[in-house]
A and B are shown apart, each in its own frame.
Chain A
């Protein structure tokens, strides 16, 4: 490890900028957010009154917060479930022994470069009440004319589809990389032992992919919880009603528009607990992988 003995200051100097940025811009504000959550703060922060756990209690009792939480969880579950399912399916097809496998890897990755705001506007066009192709298609099939600016379901659907779409490139790329790391011998051994390709996939390939899946669940959760913000702010502003006011949007609105800072800080703490548990889950799965690859 120590390839350059005798330089005792240098390593500290090398990590100093990174540690400083993390301390000043991540840790300090987070600690302050925890602190703020225990106060009732007047708009623009002039008066602060210590209120103990009241902000947390109010949040837990607030039907709007509960609704926002449930909507976020539903959104997150669909983005992960449908998104990863479709991505895995495409990745498995693209890694079959066919010509042009390399082409497909590149051909799908580009959605990674789309921002949530861009994706939102593109799908708002598809869902447009008057000229949207998706709206027209849906009306021909179901006879129902969707208007995402007034229907809660329509807005939710728009945001969900746009989100699955935007994550496809990234998910497919990681699944292809993961599938290429699964040793061929194992799969062939299972096939020789009489397992069909379907069964071989579920008993060999899928478990071998579990670190990739855990990682992608984590990344997609981060997307559904946080990154989606731009899409919401451009296209739905959390509406109609509260249909797309997911947790991240609610923090922003409560903190910056409705000037309920103590409440917003309490939401930050809850949000942290959720992220921390998901991150913990991801680390737990990826350390378990060490057993597999030994």
Chain B
């Protein structure tokens, strides 16, 4: 009896070890392309094209970053991307808190709108309306402006659902008490509900910041001036020049800078993001 239980324990340990090995192996395989890309950005042109390839980082990252930065005017592009990412994220958070508050705390004739609005935003991604949307921007005179890059993004049913889920879990006693104390609805929202929602706010911020920073098609269509382009389009400019000049090291130094902001936001707020995902997946 004892022998078999010890055997089972051994088998368990071995199995756990194998599980870890497979997981870590997969992790390395998934991370390797990024590692190699960044290493490429740390080499001189000659080392970058050495054979066999050099897998250890070199010391040229800073120099390469400067070249890439200057070539596509990345300072301006990154500012544009940062500005629209933050503006849209904050705007979406504000708008979806307002709407979620309306849908959870009031009885009104518009409350049936929640479901159709969710359906509509899911079913009408940009490509199914892109030409008229472009002409709409042109008729507003919004081409090459921050208006076109921000305002059409502001509605977020993901956000409304996220906050609605959470508001429904807040006990009624809280709003009752606030009402008895004479608080207006917006005072209750501002002083009680929003401070309780910080995790959801952070989760939505990550989702939207990453999404907007990585947006490509819409910024491509509504901007033509070099100083209104965004960082993702800058990557194309770098990559296209590489195809002509064979400078992987410069491209990858630029790519490193363009990839960093959403990655930093995600890593800093990973816990809130994971909670937001858990909430979404149990809706």
Binding site for B on A (CB under 8 A): 1-5, 7-8, 10-12, 14-15, 17-19, 21-22, 24-30, 32-33, 36, 45, 90, 93-94, 96, 98-100, 104-118, 121-126, 128, 130-131, 133, 165, 168, 173-174, 177-178, 180-181, 211-212, 215, 222, 225-226, 229-230, 233-235, 247-248, 251-252, 255-256, 261, 264-265, 268-269, 271-272, 275-276, 279, 283
Query: Does the CB pair A131–B53 fall under 8 Å?
Result: yes
Give the docked Cα–Cα distance between A244 and B103 (Å).
43
Query: Does the CB pair A4–B216 fall under 8 Å?
Result: no
B196 at interface (Cβ–Cβ under 8 A)? no
Report chain B residues within 8 Å CB of A90.
Answer: 23, 26
Neighbour of B151 across the interface among A25, A212, A225, A234, CB < 8 A: A25
User: Which residue of chain A lies nearest to B207 when distances are taken between CB atoms in the complex?
Assistant: A112
Give the docked Cα–Cα distance between A28 and B131 (Å).
12
Query: Does the CB pair A126–B125 fall under 8 Å?
Result: no
Neighbour of B273 across the interface among A107, A109, A126, CB < 8 A: A109
B162 at interface (Cβ–Cβ under 8 A)? no
19 residue pairs A–B, Cβ–Cβ below 8 Å = A15-B98, A18-B98, A21-B154, A22-B117, A109-B270, A109-B273, A111-B30, A114-B259, A118-B255, A118-B259, A121-B37, A131-B49, A177-B274, A177-B281, A181-B282, A247-B127, A252-B217, A275-B125, A279-B123
B66 at interface (Cβ–Cβ under 8 A)? no
User: Which residue of chain B lies nearest to A149 when distances are taken between CB atoms in the complex?
Assistant: B243
* Contact A2-B113, Cβ < 8 Å, known A17-B98, A33-B131, A96-B19: no
Query: Does the CB pair A7–B106 fall under 8 Å?
Result: yes
Give the docked Cα–Cα distance between A98 and B21 (Å).
12
A-B contacts besides A125-B37, A233-B236, 11 pairs, CB < 8 Å? A3-B175, A25-B133, A27-B124, A36-B131, A36-B132, A107-B27, A113-B214, A115-B262, A118-B235, A235-B239, A276-B123
Question: Taking the nearest CB of chain B, how far is it from the CB of A85, in angstroms?
Answer: 13
Query: Does the CB pair B232–A230 fall under 8 Å?
Result: yes
Question: Taking the nearest CB of chain B, how far is it from the CB of A292, in angstroms?
Answer: 13
- Report the tally of A-B residue pairs with Cβ distances under 8 A: 275
With most chain A CB atoms within 10 A of its CB, the pick from B30, B152, B172 is B30
With most chain B CB atoms within 10 A of its CB, the pick from A1, A45, A116 is A1
Q: Report B75-103 CB contacts with A as 1/0, cut-off 8 Å.
A: 00000000000000000000110110111
B210 at interface (Cβ–Cβ under 8 A)? yes
B7 at interface (Cβ–Cβ under 8 A)? no
With most chain A CB atoms within 10 A of its CB, the pick from B37, B111, B258 is B37
Query: Does the CB pair B266–A94 fall under 8 Å?
Result: no
Neighbour of A30 across the interface among B40, B129, B185, B263, CB < 8 A: B129
Query: Does the CB pair B154–A4 fall under 8 Å?
Result: no
* Contact A126-B129, Cβ < 8 Å, known A131-B48, A131-B53: no
Report chain B residues within 8 Å CB of A229.
Answer: 127, 216-217
Q: Which of B1-57 contact A (CB under 8 A)?
A: 16, 19-20, 22-23, 26-27, 30, 33-34, 36-37, 40, 48-49, 51, 53
Give the docked Cα–Cα distance between A181 and B176 (Å).
33
Give the docked Cα–Cα distance between A110 and B27 (Å).
11
Question: Taking the nearest CB of chain A, how far is it from the CB of B35, in angstroms?
Answer: 10
